[in-house]
Structure 1
Amino acid sequence: MAVARTARGRWVEEGLRALATGGPEAVRVEVLAQALGVSKGGFYGYFTNRDALLDEVLDLWEREVTDTVIEQVEDGGGDGRARLERLFAIVATAGGASARGVAADLAIRDWARRDEAVAVRLRRVDNRRMAYLRSLFSQFCTDPDDVEVRCMLAFSLRIGVHLIAADHDGRSRAEVMALTRHWLLA
């Protein structure tokens, strides 16, 4: 009887989940195999070593936070404001790849402080995200300085909102986020 192999993509997905929850140190072959319910021997049929897996984990993260998000925004059409509204809604969703993306973003940002190759990749991803934001904001903002400020605030909010525990003077976090979106799109 043939034994079914665990798909390469499942190793990469589990690696990204582990990275998001515990940083790069949590991406260990034995732990991933246990989480997948398989032996670690199958790992070496796909990857030469842990570093090869980590590269593919970063590739998956990059696709999820750039290509996939941009495709979802673009598929809906509309002008720059409509696309930004859709972008904000996509990245605000609490489930699925978006939630993992935030946790992975934070883990990768921390990792990039200690690993130059990861820092280079993070800069590439952040530059791509900022370029996309510029393309959308510039559709209704004519001042390049205004575009850059809105991009920086929107992107900083995406990353930083998860690190802020402050109360909002009688407003809910959701209310403040709605006010912020309205202000950014004005």
Structure 2
Amino acid sequence: MVKESTRLSAQDWARAALKAIADGGLAAVAVEPLARTLGVTKGSFYAHYRNRDELITAALAQWAQGHGEEGLTEFAAIADPARRLRELLTVVVQSVQPLAPSVHLSLLGDRSDPRVRDAVRQVNRARLDLLARTYRELGLSPDRATSRARVAYAAILGLAHLAQTDPDAPDSAALADEAAAVFLL
């Protein structure tokens, strides 16, 4: 059933595209199925975007903005580095849910696309920079801080990957406590 009176924004379409990407990568972004999911006609899409590629570009920009530097401002503002790290790890690990799709992990299958490569690089860079800065503030040398940040971030991505395939994943609160114990100095 199509709701003709529904007014969607370009951001609504981008959010729907991100959900499709999380579920099936870039190949899952198709105008007609998205319109059906959103309960509108394709005309709503064309009021905001000229084509699918433009939607994908907008969706990736929205994801990179929300999950990169801008998405981290709340954590970056925490003055105490130990508290910053604990809160960051807790929020990230607790957001990992069993069998939940992940935009980030799904995008890795499309990493040959330059738009994907740029968006993932931007998000990774912002996250790694914040982690490395936090570890430097905790007293590690710049090289050790960078290495520790990479290992912590890899563990977080690994937990997200495991959660996508494991319906019996451990409780996320317990994992958050364990992550904090392992990655705090």
Matched, 1:89 2:87: no
TM-score by length of 2: 0.82
Residues 8-57 of structure 1, C-alpha deviations (whole Å, 9 max, x = no match): 22111111111111111111000110000000111111101111100111
Equivalent residue, structure 2, for 1:146: 144
Residue in 2 aligned with 1:157?
A: 155
Contact residue 134 and residue 147 of structure 1 kept, 8 A: yes
**Distance (Å, rounded) in 1 between the aligned partners of 2:74 and 2:64:** 15
1:48 to 47, 50, 54: 50
Does 1:65 pair with 2:67?
yes
Give 1:161 deviation, angstroms. 1.6
Larger RCO (alpha carbons 8 Å, 6+ apart): 2
Give the partner amino acid of 1:85.
R
State whether structure 2 residue 176 is matched by structure 1 residue 184. Answer: no
Output the CA distance in 2 between the equivalents of 1:44 and 1:183: 49
How far is 1:180 from its partner? 3.5
Residues 98-117 of structure 1: pairs in structure 2 closer than 5 A: 103-112=102-111, 114-117=112-115
Q: Where do 4+ consecutive residues of structure 1 move more than 4 Å?
A: 171-177
Q: Distance in 2 between matches of 1:148 and 1:44?
A: 44
In structure 2, list runs of 5 or more residues that go unmatched: none
What is the aligned residue count? 176
Q: What is the CA-CA distance between 1:134 and the residue it aligns to?
A: 1.1
Q: Which runs of 5+ in 1 are unaligned?
A: none
Normalising by structure 1, report the TM-score. Answer: 0.82
Cα RMSD of the aligned pairs, angstroms, is 2.8
Q: Identity rate of aligned residues, in percent? A: 27
Q: Distance in 1 between matches of 2:71 and 2:180?
A: 18
Query: Shift of the alpha carbon at 1:68?
Result: 4.5
Partner of 2:8: 6
